[in-house]
Amino acid sequence: MRFSPNQNVSKVHSENNLEGNMTFERETTIVNTRIDTLSAGILRMRLVDGELRTIRMGGVDLIRRLYFCVRTRTWDTVNPKFTAYEVHTTRESFRVKFEAVCERPVGGGFETDAHFKWNAMIEGGPDGKVTFTVEGEATADFQSNRIGLCLLIGTNELAGGSYKTSLLDAPVQESPFPALIATPLVIAPKFDTIAFSTQKSTHTVTVKAVGATFEMEDQRHFGDSSFKAYAPLPYEYPNIPTGKRFKQVITLSVAGKPPARAAFVNESRITVSSVRTGHMVPTLRDWQEATPASRSFIDQVAKPAELAELETIRWDYRPSLHLHDNETYWENAQAVVDQATTMRHHNKTAQLVISPLDLDVPHPRPGRDPRTVDPFGAAWLAAFTGECGKAGVAAVDVRLGEGMAQKVMSILAPLAGQPLLETNNRSTGFFPDLMSWACRGPRGRTVVVINRTSQPQNVTVAGLAGNQVAVTRFSEQLGADKVKPRTILPIAQGAILFAMDPYEVLLVTETK
């Protein structure tokens, strides 16, 4: 394929992969992530370490993620290490080529191994068609529960809608995306083509696999806010033989008139209202060894008759059961709302408790996930508290250990039991930079703003009453105590602008 002089052509190798924000490497350490923005006709998307993320058209999210995944015998995900990485872009097309190795022996804290090398070609054209091709082979015999291309579809855009699947020449099947979390786990067995539309668009998205067959799961069972269509490589389960070559191709296309280009929003603005959501801010508690034992969500929801008899429903929550990068954690904070709604469907009166909340990856690691005690974990806990409030969860038993999360807990503790209010977020970027929630207490309304990035952000908090607000700030940049006590600041026309530190948590309270 020839490239014209006006094309942006870049070659990047893994050892120089220094762009983007920090994420937790799925093995042991913090690494840098390369992020590229790509266009294929009317589609825009991001390329993040060999994965297509946030495939969007006219401001509407169509696909959350398209990627190749290597799992071990215990369902652990092994991160690819890139030996070559090329990105070629034009204004309306792109071509990506890379070579990767998913290699990990047993030992050093890991119980299962993987030995798989693969290369990929990802192409997007001016017609909006995207093709993801993977070829690979095992470099040594090992066992795997699943290897192959995966498609994540965000539940926010689709729950309650419908999709159509087909397999070869069989009749097309139409099914609903379940609003409540479905049982059984697999909601669409054996198809090679899926077509759907989002709630915000009439355009039809079609994804087709060649050399593979999809199944689809409701990942909300595991705290993931997505439906996952996965196309496993064909092998004699669970043994991957050395040297056998595999190839998969997935093609994505969109039918319909191109939408008007979405206006670029060059600001982040949060507006608080006086409208109550009907829920309260949950109580945050330190998890103790003596805390009553919990069962997993998927085990309990499979037995609704037993759920109906409980006075308190407890289930554990980890955003890391599927993937372990920062972006997945932020996406998965909202899945607690669907889990709680499903629990409430089976029991109208029981108290709902998350116990424990844990950020550690549920597979053995040489050490604890550093995010349990660093600024990221603290910011994530603040955001998750708001999501639990929206879900009607009464209490959260937090198992993050000593660190910055405990500081956030002390700041948010006085808000427990206050009624939640609606907020409106207007944010720049593919991936929203900020999260927020609000509540009403005896002193007035409080807005909690979370910078969920490793970069400074500017935000305007609007819709405020009076002439001044009390502000409490929490961030690593504030020094040893990490907390700047309440400060009275003036506001103008109901708004105030803040420059937020990386992963800062900000409380803005109206004063009388």
HEC string of 335-353 equals: HHHHHHHHHHHHCCCCEEE
- Contact, 408 vs 354, CB < 8 A? no
**54: pLDDT confidence band, cut at 50, 70 and 90?**
very high
Q: How far is CA 207 from the centre of its chain?
A: 21
- Contact, 467 vs 488, CB < 8 A? no
Pick the closest to residue 56 from 68, 42, 75 (CA basis). Answer: 42
What's the one-letter identity of residue 113?
D
DSSP structure string for 235-250 = -STTEE-BT-EEEEEE
Lowest mean pLDDT among 260-274, 301-315, 336-350: 260-274
User: Could you give the C-alpha distances from 281 to 130, 318, 446, 476, in angstroms and in order?
Assistant: 43, 20, 11, 25
Instruction: Give the DSSP letter of residue 511.
Output: -
Structure tokens at 365: 């690691």
Structure tokens at 448: 């909690």
Lowest mean pLDDT among 53-57, 77-81, 362-366, 415-419: 362-366
Q: Which residues contact 369 (CB under 8 A, 6 or more apart)?
A: 24, 320, 324, 359, 360, 361
Give the start-end residues of each E strand in 409-492. Answer: 419-426, 434-441, 444-451, 457-462, 468-474, 483-490
**What pLDDT, on the 0 to 100 scale, is given for residue 285?**
95
DSSP structure string for 468-505 = EEEEEEE-GGG-TT-EEEEEEEE-BTTBEEEEEPTT-E
Structure tokens at 292: 């009553």
Q: Do β-strands 312-317 and 351-357 pair in parallel, antiparallel, or remain unpaired? A: parallel
Rounded average pLDDT over 471-489: 91
Give this prediction's pTM: 0.91
> How far is the C-alpha of 452 from the C-alpha of 234, rounded, in Å?
39
DSSP structure string for 188-234 = EEEESEEEE--TT--PEEEEEEES--EEEEEGGGGT-SEEEEEEE--
Lowest mean pLDDT among 181-190, 304-313, 443-452: 181-190
Q: Where are the alpha helices (DSSP H) in 123-175?
A: 155-158
* Mean pLDDT computed over every residue of the chain: 88
Q: Between 259 and 145, where is the model more confident? A: 145
Counting other chains too, the contacts that 400-404 makes at CB distance below 8 Å and 24 or more residues apart are 400/357, 400/358, 400/359, 400/372, 400/373, 401/368, 401/372, 401/373, 402/373, 403/372, 403/373, 403/374, 403/377, 403/378, 404/373, 404/374, 404/375, 404/377, 404/378, 404/476, 404/482
In the chain, the percentage of residues whose pLDDT exceeds 70 is 91
Position 3 pLDDT exceeds 60? no
**What pLDDT, on the 0 to 100 scale, is given for residue 263?**
60
Structure tokens at 427: 């944010």
Q: Between 83 and 198, where is the model more confident? A: 83
What structural domains does the chain harbor? 8-255 (2.70.98.10), 264-278+417-512 (2.60.40.1180), 282-414 (3.20.20.80)
376's enclosing H/E stretch is: helix 375-391
- The position carrying tokens 């050093």 is 108
Backbone angles phi, psi at 50, to 5 degrees: 85, 5
> How far is the C-alpha of 269 from the C-alpha of 427, rounded, in Å?
6
**481: pLDDT confidence band, cut at 50, 70 and 90?**
confident
Position 197 pLDDT exceeds 90? no
> How far is the C-alpha of 469 from the C-alpha of 462, rounded, in Å?
12
Position 303 pLDDT exceeds 80? yes
What's the one-letter identity of residue 467?
N
- Contact, 261 vs 162, CB < 8 A? no
> How far is the C-alpha of 329 from the C-alpha of 313, rounded, in Å?
23
53's enclosing H/E stretch is: strand 51-57
Backbone angles phi, psi at 210, to 5 degrees: -120, 130
Position 10 pLDDT exceeds 60? no
Rounded average pLDDT over 332-357: 96
